[in-house]
Structure 1
């Protein structure tokens, strides 16, 4: 400790960096070592296996619009394409352009998500969300128009990803000996 107290600030910084680097390298070598997993399940308690080849998440982005909101007021529906078979749509971001007096909800399945506009006098929605749609569901953004004579263009955008739905298969067992 007497040595460190006599060192200048620069030397202490260098020594600290060397010590940190040494500890980091030692930690990496421990993490890089392979470990063996021993599985002792028998015929009565088989190991569950699942094919992980080909699992992929696909990005999703779709826009729906209505050119003149007076044609559908007081409730306008921005309808998006149906979710493909064997896929789950996870919506992670919603944005929309609305009339200043309108409000919107995202509908799907048995759920409804109220979308909050940006600011008190805003006409835009821009929010991170987490909302799920199952295969065959049709995502809908319902816009409530307070002013049914306004002829505003309504635009909705959903961003997220499609995830393959994993079907659980019965465990494969080894024949009894």
Structure 2
């Protein structure tokens, strides 16, 4: 849900925009800006409170955000827009119970990859069905991949057929997840 959609909720009216400031385009983030762009502005305590509130409830209305952090709705709207424009907020989404959504098997897969092949491997991992999180890490392996699949057979197919077919992947290790829990932000 974008700040504009938050403002369009039934109890909200769209706060006025700052003069000369365009709305962020859908999908625009710091990651999509050119390298060497302007660094994000520092976050103050109100920005931190807004982030914490939106992490707990991404569907919170502008009105409720403003009331909780003790600023006007226009100020809350402008701050959320700035956080989106600066790439601090990368998007709004739903926390999914993967098992109830038909993906009852989850696993972390560690990968060792050819040196300097991260960008190539990352693009291929993004295309994998069920890939949920990808991280370049330091240590005994190079990449940590979280996947959600319908069952063990689909996980086996993903690891043995898809992952190990990537030429830059030297080895994999699969860690089956028995139980998982998303941590709620402290509030």
**Which structure has more strand as a fraction of its residues?**
1
| Bigger relative contact order (CA 8 A; separation at least 6) | 1
**TM score, norm. by length of structure 1:** 0.26
**TM score, norm. by length of structure 2:** 0.25
Larger radius of gyration: 1
